[in-house]
Amino acid sequence: MTATFVLGGARSGKSRFAENIVTATGLERHYIATGRAWDDEMQARIDQHKADRGPSWTTHEEPLDLAERLAAIDGEGRAILVDCLTLWLTNLMMDGRDIAAQSAALATWLPRGKARLVFVSNEVGLGIVPDNRMARDFRDHAGRLHQMIAAKAAEVYFIAAGLPLKMKG
């Protein structure tokens, strides 16, 4: 297993960069979509991502049980892109799940994977301190999860303005 972690801000080009990594492997492509369409605007974003990827990807929608879904589709000869971890965290928070346990389960599963893995997430810790508890909790959960995934990943990239900065590997 080789894992790559791609971080960046909104509309930074991180998803396209991650998709290019997977495409370059030449392996069977799987995409785990963690987003939920809470409104029409989010549905439009999801639809655009699907259209941009095209038909050569197998899409798995998994808003909550990420480690279990990864284990279910894992296999040699496959590349799996998870987009994105911050949307997954949002879903866990909205569903009242134990985020520390879910994050630990994902990080614990990572070294067992046989597929080529690529994770995408939004870096949310570079801005001002949020003005409400839920937003601060979200930022803190994301920061802790990012540290766990970065520690297990062979490569870590930070994307800004479509440009990758290799941070590890």
Residues that constitute the known binding site: 8-15, 33-35, 50-53, 61, 83
Please tell me the predicted confidence (pLDDT) of residue 8: 97
For residue 30, what are the domain limits? 3-168
Domain count, the chain: 1
Among 49, 60, 141, 146, the one annotated catalytic: 49
Q: What is the pTM of this model?
A: 0.94
pLDDT single digits (tens) 8-50? 998 899 999 999 999 999 999 999 999 888 889 988 988 888 8
Q: Domain holding 14: CATH number? A: 3.40.50.300
| Segment 68-120, tens digit of pLDDT | 999 999 999 999 999 999 999 999 999 999 999 999 999 999 999 999 999 99
| Confidence at residue 50, expressed as pLDDT on a 0 to 100 scale | 85
Give the residue ranges of the annotated binding site for GTP: 8-15, 33-35, 50-53, 61, 83
Query: Quick one: pLDDT at residue 53?
Result: 85
DSSP one-letter string for the chain: -EEEEEEE-TTSSHHHHHHHHHHHHTSEEEEEE-----SHHHHHHHHHHHHHH-TTEEEEE-SS-HHHHHHHH--TTEEEEEE-HHHHHHHHHHTT--HHHHHHHHHHHGGG--SEEEEEEE--SSSPPPSSHHHHHHHHHHHHHHHHHHHH-SEEEEEETTEEEEEE-
How high is the pLDDT of residue 7?
98
Residue 141 among the catalytic residues: no
